[in-house]
Structure 1
Amino acid sequence: MSTFFVATTPDTLPASLAGGQNRRVLVERLGLTAYEAAWAYQEQLLAATVAIKTQNRQTAEANLPPALTPNYLLLCQHPHVYTLGKSGKAENLLLNESELAKHGATFHRINRGGDITYHGPGQLVGYPILDLDNFFTDIHRYLRVLEEAIIRTLAEYGLSAGRIAGLTGVWMDYEENAPRPRKICAMGVKCSRWVTMHGFALNVNTDLTYFGHIVPCGIADKAVTSLQQELGYAVPITEVENRLLPHLAAVLEAELLV
């Protein structure tokens, strides 16, 4: 498992020059990666992109052409970990420190939106580090775009998934008055100067018992599910990745460099 990453510089990325936007996204598959390492890598990429945008403001004043900003999509899994967003409540974690250790899990307060969630092996986590100035500057639209890519991916497995009004993420039995709504994909993002980080967590072959130790996303009256639970069999993570990527490219109107 890698714990140190070197940021790719923007001049190593082939880029579309149309309209001064780079709509190409470099995909990096990190495998099973410690949460702290992935978080630090995201921060590194975001900071480098924001620095380019800051420099571009200075070059604009000098009537010089701007440098294109890069976009990344990090795909990974994590060892057992609970993360609490900045708007979350600590009491939604139902384990104390010794109980966390007993379950082989760690806990982190982080800088994304949303409440508490779980990450672990068998869950596909995606961290888009995108300059939304390359796409569209609308964070609500961005969340709906991520949801749509997941919905289309699940449809390839014959599953009808969708949205529940007022609740970010992707759900099974999402229709109004459905008997047992359950979340299959959680989302939480941060955006700084229109550069995104954090992202989505799609339960593929996830051990769902770990969700029993939290109030998932602060929602006490709805269940959590996985692709494996819905289908009745395990699905390779790489297969789900490969099915998801074309849908992400389509909804973002982007070119993914795999």
Structure 2
Amino acid sequence: MRYFFIEQPAVGDPQLLITGSDARHIRTVLRLKSGDKIGLFDGQGFEYQARIVAVSAGRVEVSVLQRFPVTAESPVQITIAQAFLKEKKMDRLVRQHTELGISKWIPFFAKRSVPRPSKKNLSARMERWKKIAKETLKQCKRGCVPQIGETATFEEVLNQSQACDIKIAFWENESEPVNAPLPESELQIEKIFVLLGPEGGFTAEEIEQARDRGFVTATLGPRILRAETASLAACVLLQYLYGDMGKKW
């Protein structure tokens, strides 16, 4: 069954309208017609089974047959604060982190961040990242679209971490593994905030700032990883330890 994203929740509304690129895809590429069944996500935790009622240029009318909660969401809310990286790496990380189940993604400028896009380019990239997150949602069958935060300074990122249960900065100069400084697994961990640096890594001053704000530092092993590899490895490890990628005893 093909799945499509809908902006509005369908609570109490048996009729929905699909427009834009999804409507064009349904009509001209998939050539679906009245009576065919499709799946829908609302990005707020629910999935729908629907039947196409009518197809016309630029719009597809559907009737909701069934509504049920999606079970693919992680039990922990992971916020990834990612320092700006070069080229298309940020686009790929939004897609991959969405697949891995994060709740929020915040781009920020670290001292060693080389790319410094203009305000106009940042706005365009923000819209692109939101689109990537929505498209990825359909592929991995998640229920909630990760929130894409506004581009922040390092200080602003630290301020946004205050309400989290665990705050971790991954740093290549740390020797302790990720699970060493963290609370025991029987404690209730609901919100995790993760700081990940640029290609050149964090400066010692940035790490001290983070520690002063309650962050623990952790290593990702003895090998030097690319910034984008480290970002994904950190997310997988935390989903394994506290989320839904590891066995709970």
Q: Please give the TM-score of this superposition, normalised by the length of structure 1.
A: 0.25
- Choose 1 or 2 for highest CA Rg: 2
Q: TM-score, normalised by structure 2?
A: 0.26
Question: As a proportion of its length, which structure holds more helix?
Answer: 1
